[in-house]
Amino acid sequence: MLKNIKNVIDKINRKPLEPRKAYDIWSETYDTENDNLVFKLEEEILDSLFKKADLSRKLVLDYGCGTGRNWERLLSFHPEKITGCDISPKMLGRLKVKYPAIDIYVIKKNSSLPLKPNSFDFILSTLVVAQINNLKEVFCEWNRLLKPGGKILITDLHPTVLSAGGKRTFEKDDRTYEVKNYIHPIEEIKKICGNLNIEVTGLEERLISETSIDFYKRKNALHIYKRFSGMPLVYGMLIEKKDETNKY
Ligand SMILES: C[S@@+](CC[C@H](N)C(=O)[O-])C[C@H]1O[C@@H](n2cnc3c(N)ncnc32)[C@H](O)[C@@H]1O
């Protein structure tokens, strides 16, 4: 009885968590996430967009790298070096256990990193963008860190599904936690890129379609399938910084 009352109060009090706090909690179980539709659809998008990015002997920054979910794949392209950064010390702690020798940075108050301009050939940021409040500031920092001719690859939950009430949640210790999101429409991202004179050269979207219905059945979540069916769930974008030195 007491437990039930506590659960009800818990539910009423539960607000979306700020990302740093949320991921410090999620870090313990993040790598054990399986049967995750977002990861599955995102993988298809990455397969397609990575084909347009040659990472061999490149300097790569993974911005919001978390526990390094994509690092095995990144390493298979033989980059020169991968650097990770994130706001969650505990997610980075997990990454460091897997890759002890790497350089990592904890992002503190603002989005800037103590690194020189033109430090990277490629910036990856997967499933992070909608947790960033001031996206313009972060794109400016990416543009500063990126060499001319470099590329940025982002993926995330689609703004359409977030605008329709979709949430980023995770389960831990019989509780459901929600991470706070900021909705950045695709057009807003394109506009930020346009203002920085960096070009969107690839956009991929994956919808919640009939092929995902079994996933929702397994999760006992057919009501969610019905609500969001037909909407894009995940997107990926490839962005390029022109190399003006090659212009003439
Ligand atoms: C869903 S996880 C994705 C982690 C990893 N990129 C992946 O694809 O598995 C989101 C990550 O973004 C980080 N994050 C959230 N807001 C951020 C911000 N403003 N700047 C940098 N990282 C942030 C979180 O701490 C978390 O590790």
Residue 34: per-residue pLDDT: 87
Residue 111 pLDDT: 85
Side-chain half-sphere CA neighbours of 63 within 13 A: 25
CA-closest candidate to residue 234, choices 47, 45, 62, 70? 45
Ligand 1 center from residue 217 Cα (angstroms): 28
Q: Is 45 in the pocket of ligand 1 (CB under 6 A)?
A: no
* Per-residue pLDDT tens digits for 74-108: 999 999 999 999 999 999 999 999 999 999 999 99
Instruction: Give the domains, in start order, of the chain with CATH numbers.
Output: 2-241 (3.40.50.150)
Instruction: Determine the atom of ligand 1 nearest the C-alpha atom of 91.
Output: 27
CB 184 less than 6 A from any atom of ligand 1: no
* pLDDT, mean of each 10-residue run, the chain (248 residues): 52 80 96 93 97 96 98 97 98 97 92 95 98 97 98 98 96 93 98 97 97 94 96 98 72
Ligand 1, atom 16: nearest CA belongs to which residue?
131
Q: Which atom of ligand 1 is nearest to the CA of 155?
A: 8
- At residue 12, the pLDDT reads 45
* Separation of alpha carbons 152 and 240, rounded Å: 6
Q: Is any ligand 1 atom within 6 A of the Cβ of residue 65?
A: yes
- Decide: 86 in ligand 1 pocket, CB within 6 A: yes
198 Cα to the center of ligand 1, angstroms: 23
How far does the centroid of ligand 1 lie from the alpha carbon of residue 245, in Å? 33
Best residue among 21, 63, 87 to mutate for probing ligand 1's pocket (most ligand atoms within 8 Å of CB) is 87
Phi, psi of 6, rounded to the nearest 5 degrees:
-60, -40
Pairing of strands 198-207, 175-179: unpaired
162, two tokens: 């977030």
Q: What is the pLDDT of residue 248?
A: 55
Ligand 1 atom closest to Cα of residue 69 = 9
Terminal-residue alpha carbon distance, the chain = 76
CA nearest neighbour of 66 among 24, 102, 122 = 24
87 in contact with ligand 1, CB cutoff 6 A: yes
pLDDT given at position 11: 54
Average pLDDT taken over every residue of the chain: 93
Spatial contact of 204 and 45, defined as CB atoms under 8 Å apart:
yes
The model carries a pTM of 0.94
